[in-house]
């Protein structure tokens, strides 16, 4: 890879937000050529920060398997926001190409308005019945390939009863019911709550992640404050294309990135295509 090509990839990798703002102005053909020529681990974060309509147009232009790979890379919440701008039947084909669990979660989140908490929730949480033994729950957690901080306890109708810390489970006899470790969920978000309203929820004063419930107090998943802030920021960028222009710092930043934009635009048009590093399907 030539030095200019390496600089392009390095810029995209280290400054995904700024790169996304620059690339939002490029043509779909240019964007497609660029994103297919770099590893998914670099392209994914940039795609996640682009305007949803632009990112959706890129996904539509890509082969289904390639697009689904990127959707899985960018994360559950950003991919749902993007898919809202993809028309049928392409949307269904993309969802079907995702892993089964991801596809089910994606369909669930697409059922909520795009400016609601439900659209941004992470449904991939450990949910157990109060009658299950601590040993059974620990065995389930051990078989997961993702870190777990807590498990959520529900009844037969999936109504949220509370939660239990993983470290508490590890200190308890495995034969006992997990319901004995139940902690009340003192603060919850509702799935239909507007994003802006969720930011003001008092629960954030003592927690960085809150459970989300829908009608009947049924558990949907969990939402972190960081994910909520990112979702609100994406919505604000969509509503205001130049949020920095009113401040002196904004003028300076805009001027700097305008010069960078010229470099990136030149690279996407003039430079020879960057060859994929190895087999794309194996590059993560």
CA-wise closest residue to 59 among 70, 45, 51: 70
Residue-level pLDDT at 222? 94
Q: What is the tens place of the pLDDT at every residue in 131-149? A: 999 999 999 999 887 888 8
Residue-level pLDDT at 211? 96
Q: What is the tens place of the pLDDT at every residue in 91-116? A: 999 999 999 988 988 998 898 888 89
Q: What does the alpha-carbon distance between residue 171 and residue 167 come to, in Å, rounded to a whole number? A: 7
Exposure letters 257-275 (e unless 16+ CB within 10 A, then b):
beeebeebbebbeeeeebe
- Residue 229: both structure tokens together: 């802030």
pTM: 0.64
Contact 210, 201 (CB under 8 A): yes
One-letter-per-residue 3-state SS of 104-125: HHHHHHHCCCCCEHHHCCECCC
For the chain, list residues with pLDDT below 50: 241-284
Domains of the chain, earliest start first: 3-111+248-282 (1.25.60), 127-230 (3.10.580.10)
Q: How many CB atoms lie within 10 A of CB 219?
A: 24
Residue-level pLDDT at 198? 94
Residue-level pLDDT at 276? 43
């Amino acid at each position: 890879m030539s030095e200019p090509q390496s600089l392009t990839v390095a810029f995209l990798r280290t400054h995904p937000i700024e790169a996304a703002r620059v690339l939002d102005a490029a043509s779909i053909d240019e964007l497609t050529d660029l994103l297919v020529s770099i590893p998914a681990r670099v392209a994914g974060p940039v795609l996640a920060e682009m305007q949803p309509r632009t990112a959706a147009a890129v996904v539509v232009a890509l082969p289904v398997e390639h697009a689904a790979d990127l959707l899985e890379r960018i994360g559950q919440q950003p991919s749902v926001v993007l898919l809202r701008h993809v028309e049928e039947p392409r949307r269904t084909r993309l969802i079907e190409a995702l892993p089964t669990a991801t596809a089910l979660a994606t369909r669930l989140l697409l059922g909520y308005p795009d400016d609601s908490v439900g659209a941004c929730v992470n449904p991939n949480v450990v949910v157990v019945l109060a009658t299950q033994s601590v040993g059974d729950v620990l065995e389930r957690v051990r078989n997961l390939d993702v870190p777990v901080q807590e498990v959520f306890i529900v009844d037969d109708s999936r109504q949220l009863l509370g939660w239990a810390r993983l470290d508490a489970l590890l200190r308890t006899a495995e034969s006992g019911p997990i319901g004995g470790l139940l902690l009340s969920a003192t603060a919850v978000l509702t799935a239909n709550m507007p994003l802006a309203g969720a930011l003001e929820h008092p629960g954030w004063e003592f927690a960085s992640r809150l459970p989300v419930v829908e009608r009947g107090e049924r558990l949907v998943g969990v939402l972190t404050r960081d994910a909520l802030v990112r979702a609100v920021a994406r919505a604000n960028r969509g509503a205001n294309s130049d949020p920095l222009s009113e401040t002196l710092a904004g003028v300076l930043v805009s001027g700097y990135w305008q010069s960078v934009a010229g470099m990136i635009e030149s690279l996407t048009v003039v430079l020879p295509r960057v060859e994929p590093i190895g087999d794309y399907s194996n590059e993560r």
